[in-house]
Amino acid sequence: MLLLRRNVKSSSVRFLDMKPMSNPFPIVSALSKTSLMRLAIISSRAVRSRFKANPLIPWFGLVALGLAVCIAIPALAGSGGFNNTGSMNVPRVNHTTTRLADGEVLVAGGFDPNTCCTAPPLASAELYNPATGTWTATGSMTTGRESFALTLLSNGKVLAAGGFNNGALSSAELYDPATGTWTATGSMTGSVNNDAAALLQNGEVFGGDNLYHPSTGTWTATSSPTVGGGTPIVLLPNGNVWTAANIQGGSIYNPSTNQWTNFPPPPVHNAQSKLRECRCAAGALAGF
């Protein structure tokens, strides 16, 4: 599995290869897992015996034990690593990405980190080709925007909605991968959820208090939740939409009834207790 990771100070991009890597310690490549574990156990026993004989000697045993563990862990479990791939044409932060139907990755908008907060958001966009590891510039959006929602529609086009550009935006536009161009579509109504959306099972797009209808290019306001209703937004297997909760609770939206169902907030007392337990455990490990 590959995980795209961006460098916020440059246009460089890396992939995290989750498959096990080859053993980085060739000297132990011939040792079995059992042999490696025995090496760690023997080192531990050596530390205890040497400590009884001379309290100053065990530090060397600890070093040996540490080396044995460092060698054994990668050999036993394997580890992932980052592999460099092609750099974007434009460095950017606060941009949005989505995977297209053909497997390419669309990146659009955001800020140039070199001029962040002193220049308007970027309107430019580019495509990443996983087969070649390269980026290609594509058409620019009609409006520069950052921290916005980018949603792949059922027809293969991409909807960019909301975001910020000297204030919150209600405008939206469509990207056509076949032509590499953007065209304006209907603007959102009601309150604007700027950075999250979900493609519903019926092909419409849920954006907080708004529903986008691809067939007409228009938005309609939905009923508003009484609690929660924040981001992220997650489409559930039953077709309903989960929205992030706050201390008052959260809400689930049912597209078929245009109604919200509230759910209680997380158990704060239990969460605080768990936090205290974690802190105590961390303190014990640190010797406090």
Q: What percent of the chain is predicted at pLDDT more than 70?
A: 59
Arithmetic mean of pLDDT, 53-82: 54
The more confident residue out of 38 and 187 is 187
- Asked if 266 and 272 touch (Cβ cutoff 8 Å), the reply is no
Residue 77: CB atoms within 10 A of its CB come to 9
Angle between helices 33-53 and 58-77 in degrees, nearest 10: 170
Q: pLDDT tens digit string along 258-276?
A: 998 887 776 665 545 554 5
- How far apart CA 162 and CA 147 sit, in angstroms, is 8
Q: Report residue 70 as tokens.
A: 């460092």
Kindly report the number of other CB atoms within 10 A of residue 106's CB atom.
Answer: 20
Reply yes or no on whether the pLDDT at 250 is more than 90.
no
Read off the pTM. 0.67
Can you tell me the mean pLDDT for 201-217? Answer: 93
Helix (H, G, I), strand (E, B) or coil at 263: strand
Eight-state DSSP code of residue 226: S
